[in-house]
Amino acid sequence: MQFSRLRLTGFKSFVDPTDLVIARGLTGVVGPNGCGKSNLLEALRWVMGETRAKAMRGAGMEDVIFAGASSRPARNFAEVCLTIDNTDRLAPAGFNDADQLEVTRRITRDVGSAYKTNGKDVRARDVQMLFADASTGSTSPALVRQGQISELINAKPKARRRILEEAAGISGLYQRRHEAELKLKGAEANLLRVDDVIEQLA
């Protein structure tokens, strides 16, 4: 899957609608300190389903909404839309029927986040699984934050293993296994309850 466009509105310092074309090959973002380079990378991570406000350098997720400046009032929502070129049909099953895939996340104050793929409402999990199955996503090792290289060097073996699993494209399977285990536990609890009822009736 090839990211082809990133559009931001009201996201952190990108208060006005901003449209970035991501060409094939290497893309570099340059600019003076504080101009918003890291905010761009965070927008990418956020639209892919990041749930940790801390990973967005905020105390709460609403901190990604433009907070206002001396000359401009704060915004009530932030929206990021990522366009994926799917002409090579590499998107995972369920998302693979169009040449272009548009993933949108919007957060509204006091309401929370809502996601869409190609204009249709979807759950956060659907978006997270879409990127996990494509071996990318908000926790992808392909997105390297400032200071992350030294963190990796000092990481414990378990954390390093997670990175290898991500690269091997099996992190989506782990998420599914976790969900299957939760369902199984629920079913076991129900069976115990059924046993109790049968005992009472006997």
- For residue 14, list its beta bridge partners: 11
Q: Contacts with ligand ATP: how many residues (CB under 6 A)?
A: 14
Residues 44-73 that bind ligand ATP (CB under 6 A): 63, 65-67
Helix (H, G, I), strand (E, B) or coil at 82: strand
Between 63 and 102, name the residue whose CB sits nearer to ligand ATP: 63
Among 34, 60, 147, 157, binds ligand ATP (CB under 6 A): 34
Would the annotation count 34 as a binding residue?
A: yes
Residues 142-171 that bind ligand ATP (CB under 6 A): none
Would the annotation count 38 as a binding residue?
A: yes
Residue 39 contacts ligand ATP per CB under 6 A: yes
3-state DSSP percent of the chain in helix, strand and coil, to 5? 40, 20, 40
Type of residue numbered 3: F
135: which DSSP letter?
T
Place of tokens 């449209």: 19
Residue 38 contacts ligand ATP per CB under 6 A: yes
**String of contacts with ligand ATP for each residue 92-121, x by CB under 6 A:** ------------------------------
Residues in the chain: 202
- Residue span binding ligand ATP (CB under 6 A) among the ranges 17-25, 32-40, 110-118, 180-188: 32-40
Helix/strand/coil (H/E/C) assignment for every residue in 148-181: HHHHHHCCCHHHHHHHHHHHHCCHHHHHHHHHHH
Q: Which residues contact 101 (CB under 8 A, 6 or more apart)?
A: 1, 83, 84, 86, 91, 95, 117, 118
Between 10 and 172, name the residue whose CB sits nearer to ligand ATP: 10
Residue 20 contacts ligand ATP per CB under 6 A: no
Residues that bind ligand ATP (CB under 6 A): 12-13, 31, 33-39, 63, 65-67
What residues are designated binding site? 32-39
